[in-house]
Structure 1
Amino acid sequence: MDRIVDIATDGRHLSAHRGFLIVSEERAEVGRVPLDDVAAVIVHAHGVTWSTSLVVALAERGAILLLCGSNHAPVAVCLPLDGHHAQNGRMRAQWEAGRPLSKQLWRRLVIAKIRWQAAVLEANGRSAGAFDLLARRVGSGDPENVEAQAARRYWPLLMGDAFRRDREADGANAMLNYGYAILRSMCARAVVAAGLHPSIGVHHANRGNAFALADDLIEPFRPLADALTVRLIAHGVDSVTPEAKRAFAGMIALDLPGENGTTTVAGAATRAAQSLAGCFQSGRAGDLVLPIPPSAIELSGLESLLV
């Protein structure tokens, strides 16, 4: 299984030795993970050091190094330059994709996100009838910003009327930031592995955003972190504790329904990124394969992450 390695303790040093990621403190080893198992290393502590040989070893395996700010949101990433054997052709097709294709791709991503939000609400006993109508209203490029309209309905239904999504806030908001950081690193890795560049998005286009395409691809997956946050809160976890981090790190291995049977969240992201590369090359948005909204029974698998 692809593993997320989270470093949240100051004073740790990360290095590579004989195929392992070594975590040490004051020159004494405190842990090791096979490098071939690592999908991403996420650094939250600000007193951490690492060796260049480790970063090179991670890049050679397609893994990423992600650095987070104090609010648990990503602020920097180290990505491999050589991600796929057809990288040059795919990146050229990505760069040359016309606005009509990009707008159709964004429409499909928004529809998938809204349908996932509906699935999460229904799994939590909330009425989500309006979300099917909202999904049907999404046009090319989402000119009516139906995504925002869905969000205004979604958050009060899922988290209560008093909740406000604030990326700088503590509590549930910080937990959401952390969950999204896990999913964002997963999508960034999938994008690079597919031979695409994560900074060239189909909708997100901030000039300083190195994750633009990953931020597009993450949208259908976000409600999964929302669902896990709700469950953690129900179990008395209301901040980014070690227990919460373990749960969010395990999220990428959760089973989801797929085109050809069950797949993992990470597998669904890989499939989505690969199909997105195909869309850029074919010019057909309909080739995009996005994760199927899970049933309440499938979402109940999140409970296994809380132990």
Structure 2
Amino acid sequence: MERIVDIAIDGRHLSAHRGFMIVAEDRVEVGRVPLDDVAAVIVHAHGVTWSTNLVVALAERGAILLLCGSNHSPVAVCLPLDGHHAQNGRMRAQWEAGRPLAKQLWRRVIVAKIRWQGAALAATGKPHTPFDLLARRVGSGDPENVEAQAARRYWPLLMGEDFRRNRDADGANALLNYGYAILRSLCARAVVAAGLHPSIGVHHANRGNPFALADDVIEPFRPLVDLLTLRLLAAGTMRVTPEAKRAFARLIALDLMGEAGITTLANAVARVAQTLAGAFQSGRATDLWLPEPPSALELAGLAALLVDP
């Protein structure tokens, strides 16, 4: 399985040696991971150093180096320049995509996101019928901002009336930040591998956001992090502990229904990115594949992620 490597202890040095990523402290090796197994390296700790050889080796394998702030949200990323063999044509099509296509693509993403939110609520026994109705109301480009209307209903139902989504807060918000960072790194890697540029978004367009397209792709999958966070809280985990990090890292191998049967979350994200590239080139929003929301029974599998192997 591709691994998410989290560096959370200060003073570590990361390097590459004979096909392995070596983690050392005071020149003494404390761990190693095969480079071919690494999907992303996430650095949370301070005083961490790394060699250029390691960053090059990661880039050659399509893996990314992600740097996070104290709130567990990404602040910088190192992505490979080489992506898909048809990268030039796909990036050109991405850049030249007209607003009508972008608005139709965004509509499909938001419909999927709202339906996944409904599935998450159903899995916890909360009222979810209004979310089917909200999904049907989403127009091209979401001019009525149905996404925000759904969010205003979703968070109190899922997390309680007193919950407020705040990226700078501790507790549940810090857990969400970390889970989204895992997903974001997965999406950034997928769009680069598909020959797309992660900073040119369909909807997200902040000039300072190097993840704009990854932030578009991530939207339907966010409820998986939300549900896992809820389960961690129920188990008494109120902060980003090593156990919580392992649970979120295992999320990338969660089974989902794909186009041809069961697949992993990582493969589903890659498929979304590949079909998005195809949609840019064809000019047809319907070429974008988005996974169907899992059933309540399928989402129950999230509980297994809380158990260390």
Q: Which residue of 2 aligns with 1:225?
A: 225
Q: Which residue of 2 aligns with 1:101?
A: 101
Q: Which residue of 1 aligns with 2:174?
A: 174
How many Å separate the matches in 1 of 2:126 and 2:14? 44
How many Å separate the matches in 2 of 1:2 and 1:286? 30
How many Å separate the matches in 2 of 1:11 and 1:239? 22
Please show how residues 192-231 of structure 1 align to structure 2 within 5 Å: 192-231=192-231
CA shift for structure 1 position 291: 1.9
Q: Which residue of 2 aligns with 1:146?
A: 146
Give yes or no for the alignment of 1:118 onto 2:106.
no
CA shift for structure 1 position 47: 1.3
CA shift for structure 1 position 127: 1.0
Deviations along 1:118-167, one digit per CA (max 9) or x if unpaired, are 00000001010100000000000000000000000000000000000000
Q: Which residue of 2 aligns with 1:77?
A: 77
How many Å separate the matches in 2 of 1:46 and 1:75? 14
Partner amino acid for 2:203?
H
Query: Which runs of 5 or more residues in structure 2 are unaligned?
Result: none
Q: Which residue of 2 aligns with 1:18?
A: 18
SS of equivalent to 1:41: strand
Q: Which residue of 2 aligns with 1:294?
A: 294
How many Å separate the matches in 1 of 2:126 and 2:220? 19
What is the percent sequence identity of the aligned residues? Answer: 82
Deviations along 1:77-100, one digit per CA (max 9) or x if unpaired, are 000000111000000000000000
Q: Which residue of 1 aligns with 2:86?
A: 86
How many Å separate the matches in 1 of 2:299 and 2:133? 23
Q: TM-score, normalised by structure 1?
A: 0.99
CA shift for structure 1 position 117: 0.3
Q: Which residue of 1 aligns with 2:32?
A: 32
Give the aligned length.
307
How many Å separate the matches in 2 of 1:301 and 1:9? 30
Query: Which runs of 5 or more residues in structure 1 are unaligned?
Result: none
Give RMSD over aligned pairs.
Answer: 0.5
How many Å separate the matches in 1 of 2:70 and 2:203? 27
| Dislocated runs of 4+, deviation >6 Å | none
Q: TM-score, normalised by structure 2?
A: 0.99
How many Å separate the matches in 2 of 1:217 and 1:154? 20
CA shift for structure 1 position 2: 1.1
CA shift for structure 1 position 57: 0.2
How many Å separate the matches in 2 of 1:221 and 1:163? 20
How many Å separate the matches in 1 of 2:44 and 2:20? 21
Deviations along 1:22-61, one digit per CA (max 9) or x if unpaired, are 1111111111111001000000001110000000000000
Q: Which residue of 1 aligns with 2:156?
A: 156
Q: Which residue of 2 aligns with 1:264?
A: 264
Give yes or no for the alignment of 1:238 onto 2:238.
yes
